């Protein structure tokens, strides 16, 4: 993804070692000896059509966000709700008048972490013009803007999900869009329609992304160009989005399978 919507908000004090928690966060307070401490674990059990835990804020609007996308994000149950089978369903739909609606969720203000492993088990949709993503933004995004806050794209797929995309966006003097450090390519197994575990590991001065047992991208300050700034040893919040159309991946067509759903089985953040 590239940048958030415009919004004027302020975040409260950070609690603990880079962790921000709202009242509805599902957080482990202790683990067995030798096991990593769980900062957040969330399953999506509940009746079909019900809203996810309020730790997830729906970002509303669109019709031009990001890459000049086509969708309008809503918080309606037909765009974002539990499916009754243990999953969170984020669904893109096209109405009879041609309007496309979808969903984008963030933990901004409710949960963030600095160091650790964030993973989500996701079944990604596929189809012309579809652009699902699991990503992170710095919690100061509404104070300093994008790309100054930094962005980590754990996984993005385009169209028929024949290859993965993973990226880090760092601010860089002299350019409005910063430096993008990215990689992409095929994987030896299908991505579309199958549950895979997508993850990012954050340690001081290092970001690693992957899927299942496969490492996708490793970034350190040594990868930055002149004028770029490492802003990634700070709290970041989690985001999920299902964008549609725009300059990347391109427009939908008659073959695009509406409705199209991105299913999330669980989200977990642990200390390393």
Q: List, by residue number, the catalytic residues.
A: 151, 156
Rounded to whole angstroms, the Cα distance separating 272 from 269 reads: 9
Q: Which of 155, 80, 75, 152 is nearest to 123 (CA)?
A: 155
Quick one: tokens of 177?
Answer: 């869009």
**Contact present, 90 and 78 (Cβ < 8 Å):** no
Q: Please state the three-class secondary structure of 82-99 as a single string.
A: ECCCCCEEEEEEECCCCC
């Amino acid at each position: 993804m590239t940048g958030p919507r415009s919004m004027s908000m302020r975040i409260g004090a950070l609690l603990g070692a880079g962790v921000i928690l709202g009242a509805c966060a599902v957080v482990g307070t202790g683990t067995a000896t030798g096991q990593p401490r769980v900062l957040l674990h969330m399953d999506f059990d509940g009746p079909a059509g019900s809203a996810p835990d309020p730790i997830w804020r729906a970002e509303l609007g669109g019709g031009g966000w990001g890459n000049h996308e086509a969708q309008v994000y809503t918080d309606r149950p037909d765009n974002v709700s539990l499916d009754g089978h243990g999953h969170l369903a984020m669904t893109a739909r096209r109405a009879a008048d041609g309007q496309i609606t979808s969903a984008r969720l963030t933990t901004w203000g409710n949960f963030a972490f600095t160091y650790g492993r964030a993973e989500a088990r996701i079944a990604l949709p596929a189809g012309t013009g579809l652009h699902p993503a699991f990503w992170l933004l710095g919690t100061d995004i509404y104070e300093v803007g994008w790309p100054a806050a930094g962005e980590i794209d754990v996984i993005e797929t385009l169209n028929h999900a024949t290859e993965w995309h993973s990226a880090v966006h760092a601010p860089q003097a002299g350019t409005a869009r910063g430096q993008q450090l990215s990689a992409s390519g095929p994987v030896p197994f299908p991505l579309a329609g199958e549950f895979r575990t997508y993850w990012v590991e954050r340690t001081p001065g290092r970001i690693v992304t992957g899927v299942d047992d496969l490492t996708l991208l490793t970034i350190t300050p040594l990868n930055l160009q002149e004028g770029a700034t490492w802003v990634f040893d700070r709290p970041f919040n989690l985001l999920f989005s299902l964008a549609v159309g725009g300059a990347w991946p391109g427009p939908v067509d008659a073959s695009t399978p509406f409705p199209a759903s991105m299913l999330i089985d669980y989200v977990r953040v642990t200390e390393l």
